[in-house]
Amino acid sequence: MNKVFLRNLALLALGAGFLASCNSGLSGQLVGAPNRPRWYQPDPYGMVYIAMGSFNMGPSDQDVPMDFISQTKTVSVQAFYMDQTEITNNEYRQFVEWVRDSIARRLLGENVDAEKYFFEEDDYGNPLDPPHLNWKTKIRWDGEEEREALEEMYYPENERFYGQRVIDPRKLIYHYYWIDLKAAANNRPQGLRDRSVFIRKDLVNVYPDTLVWIADFTYSYNEPLTKMYFWHPAYDDYPVVGVNWKQATAFCIWRTNLMNSFLAFRGDYPVHDFRLPTEAEWEYAARGGLDLAAYPWGSYYIRNTKGCFLGNFKPLRGNYIDDGGFHTVPANSYNPNEYGLYCMAGNVAEWTRDAFEESAYSFTHDLNPELYYEAKDDGPPAVRRKVIRGGSWKDISFYLQNGSRAYEYQDSSKSYIGFRCVQTFMGRAKEDYK
């Protein structure tokens, strides 16, 4: 072979090697996709980290009458975050006002100034259908055009009290979507053809039912709470009540979108959904790492060594104030449990994600057990039951126990039921990031 041919062959081999190294990383080795960022999940504001673990779920002592709905079972739960307190009136009001303002922006964009209140194109000039709301533009409520465009948000004149022009809470409807992953997992061929059948849409009125304070009690004067409890600043830090299971679920979806939209704006990765806790997660968190303890504070007694009650409940017949409460109290009252969670027993009972079934412990898995389904509003009563946990300000001490179960219908709202959110941890455990 002549020298020119050998030189060209060597250059060709060198070029091929250079291209191969560019495409496959270092020296042709399997090293994973390049330029992946190192990621660490910061603790969400107002939430506490609860490490994975296993525990004995169910009654901490023999309870013969309730044994048919609360068997003891060892289960394991993955790491998650949980709200340190029950969702408060002011936190839930952020959701209500977001819905109110989104409706106002839509009406103003359609009737006053689309360019001001809508983004009709994305950053690349592609049309957005439907247009996105412009949250940077401040809503003008008092202009002549604006008043006319927003009139449908207010009570009609014949329903106004002393002629006051007040937002009609019946108009505060939140439209939301989710993907039914359980249905998709059970029908994979359909999902491969068209996944749109698994995209669910729902709508819910987000305003709490403030009349529960009167409706829940016969021959009892609770009108002051009906009038003031949700909206007055005096009650900002009290747990929100009058919220049914669907409203609590919608709040979680809104909170997820709020967080992930912010992260997308910063160019960050999304995080797991906020949601209601499973029944197992709730009980695991309530126990605070103290397995077999009857109450979140770790003992079998509802008073401390000084004789003071440790939660907000009905301690004595007709005496609601001996525990320092009356009805609800601020959500960070009393001492937290070992995980730093407040009022896991008493104050308000809390919605969980699970449907209520007496024999659920017999057939649910021992790995992240869950019994979840979306029941239709007109479905049979038995399928609309959802588990509530923790007991409330009007309950006796039995319902404050970690293992006690109760239920309420998903479309009902009560003056003694609230909720808190959880979020699955991104990864196995925090120590993996170190």
Same-domain status, 245 and 302: yes
Percent helix, strand and coil across the chain, each rounded to 5?
A: 30, 20, 50
Looking at residue 320, which CATH number applies to its domain?
3.90.1580.10
- Residue 47, H or E segment: strand 47-50
Q: DSSP class of residue 367?
A: B
pLDDT digits (tens, 9 = 90+) for 284-295: 999 999 988 899
Res 11 pLDDT > 60: no
Res 422 pLDDT > 80: yes
Write out the residue range of the structural domain in which residue 31 sits.
1-36
On whether residue 64 sits in a domain, the answer given is yes
Task: List the beta bridge partners of residue 157.
Answer: none
Lowest mean pLDDT across 11-20, 175-184, 229-238 = 11-20
Same-domain status, 28 and 123: no
Same-domain status, 30 and 155: no
Q: How many residues appear in the chain?
A: 434
Give the number of domains in the chain.
2
In this structure, the number of other CB atoms found within 10 A of the CB of residue 323 comes to 23
Mean pLDDT of 301-307: 84
Closest CA to 419 of 282, 219, 295, 320: 282
Closest CA to 209 of 189, 195, 225: 225
On whether residue 219 sits in a domain, the answer given is yes
Same-domain status, 147 and 222: yes
Lowest mean pLDDT across 10-14, 156-160, 212-216 = 10-14
Confidence of residue 219 (pLDDT cuts 50, 70, 90): very high
Contact, 179 vs 200, CB < 8 A?
Answer: yes
Same-domain status, 265 and 308: yes
On whether residue 359 sits in a domain, the answer given is yes
On whether residue 42 sits in a domain, the answer given is no
Q: Which pLDDT score is estimated for 318?
A: 83
Closest CA to 170 of 103, 258, 230, 87: 103
Report the distance separating Cα 350 and Cα 417, nearest Å: 6
Integer CA distances (angstroms), 187 to 69, 364, 371, 416, in order: 32, 21, 19, 39
> To the nearest whole number, what is the mean pLDDT of the chain?
89
Same-domain status, 8 and 98: no
pLDDT digits (tens, 9 = 90+) for 343-369: 999 999 999 999 999 889 989 999 999
Same-domain status, 74 and 1: no
On whether residue 151 sits in a domain, the answer given is yes
Report the distance separating Cα 424 and Cα 272, nearest Å: 6
Task: Report residue 134 as tokens.
Answer: 């412009």
On whether residue 41 sits in a domain, the answer given is no
Same-domain status, 31 and 78: no
On whether residue 414 sits in a domain, the answer given is yes
Res 20 pLDDT > 50: no
Q: Does the pTM exceed 0.85?
A: yes
pLDDT digits (tens, 9 = 90+) for 363-399: 999 999 999 988 888 888 888 999 999 999 999 999 9
In this structure, the number of other CB atoms found within 10 A of the CB of residue 312 comes to 28
On whether residue 72 sits in a domain, the answer given is yes
Contact, 423 vs 44, CB < 8 A?
Answer: yes
Same-domain status, 25 and 51: no
Closest CA to 179 of 202, 157, 156: 202
Same-domain status, 18 and 76: no
Same-domain status, 167 and 278: yes
Q: Which pLDDT score is estimated for 16?
A: 47
* CA-atom Rg of the chain in angstroms: 27
Same-domain status, 149 and 254: yes
Res 434 pLDDT > 80: no
